Amino acid sequence: MLDRVTEISDAAGTRWLSDTELAAWMPFSAMLMALITALDTQLRRDAKLSLFGYFVLAGLSEAPERTLPMSQVAVLANGSLSRVSHAVSALERQGWVTRHPAPSGRRSTLATLTEAGYAKVVASAPGHVETVRRLVIDPLTKQQFGQLGRISEKILTELTPGGECARE
């Protein structure tokens, strides 16, 4: 059956993964899913905050006057405007973020981290960083971690053709 599927798909131009590529892809994709789950679980358990919500708060905490247009928050959090809007609504209900129209008169909305929101991200950061260290940084050598950074940059370049990614 698989040979028949391969023949049909190959005729359509599908470039199937080789055994070596598949052997690397399977643990990589499993790691991505497990890592996101572990980081989200830690933040929900210890800080009553989702990983995505944490990214929103952390992005705003680094911004000038702790304020950014919603479109820029979406870039920092690696989410769509719709997802950011829902997340910011939840963060507003907690008193951690406020939204207001941009003073420039443009049709854009600004998100601002409140003092309570800043306190929340400061309180949440140590547990999050410890989890990142334990799961990602500590198991790797410095050389492996450097390679991971370079590999991640290369993949991000493919994922964000416009050049916008979380580090900007």
Hey, which of 7-21, 102-116, 128-142 has the most confident mean pLDDT? 128-142
pTM over 0.75: yes
Q: Please state, in angstroms and rounded to a whole number, the distance separating the CA atoms of residues 43 and 165.
A: 22
Domains in the chain, ordered, with CATH?
A: 32-159 (1.10.10.10)
Greater confidence (8 vs 47) lies with 47
Q: Please state, in angstroms and rounded to a whole number, the distance separating the CA atoms of residues 121 and 124.
A: 5
